[in-house]
Amino acid sequence: MEVSDPVQSGLQILAEPSSFSVRSFQAVFQGAFQSLLSGQTEQAAFDYPDLEHIDPAILKYCHTAATTYIIEAGKQKADKFIISTHLEDCKFNRERIEHFCTEYQIHKDSLEIMLGSIGRCPLHVTDVCWRLEYQIKDLVGKLKDAAKSLERKTQL
């Protein structure tokens, strides 16, 4: 699975135990899943006591990377093996990989439903004014063609 360099670097920061403890790591991914699936604002995703000691800029960067990774995994319908392999490349330890895979499996169905609904809109009525304007322009064009034909006939 391929992700952009900023996402890759955000995941690598999340993998560092010196930057994120196990509890803060779990809080970031729980917040990312909640913000995606429940429509919470990003600020609500940061309202965990375990995240208070982390620099807000780094936290936001890593939250964005985690959210992007979750979306990409859902979009590609990645299985546990693909996710594990990619997270190992990002220097995640076994415990963090297991936590992510567990969270992902819990929310996988909801995530796929949410991603499947993007881009689809219910049927809608075309604006009546637009249709009338289109028909008038079409009729004016036909009238001009008829006038030109009539003018040619009279000149002969």
Inside any domain, residue 134: no
Judged by phi (left if over 0) then psi (alpha if -120 to 50, else beta), residue 145 lies in alpha
> Residue 48 sits in which domain range?
5-117
In a domain, 143, yes or no: no
Q: How many domains does the chain have?
A: 1
Q: 104-139 pLDDT, tens per residue?
A: 999 888 888 888 777 666 655 556 666 778 888 889
- For residue 152, being part of any structural domain is answered with no
> What pLDDT shows up at residue 117?
74
What pLDDT tens digit does each residue of the chain (156 aa) get?
A: 788 899 999 999 999 988 888 888 888 888 888 888 876 655 666 677 777 888 889 889 998 999 999 989 888 888 899 999 999 988 999 999 999 999 999 988 888 888 877 766 665 555 666 677 888 888 999 999 999 999 998 887
pTM: 0.69
Decide if 155 is inside a domain.
no
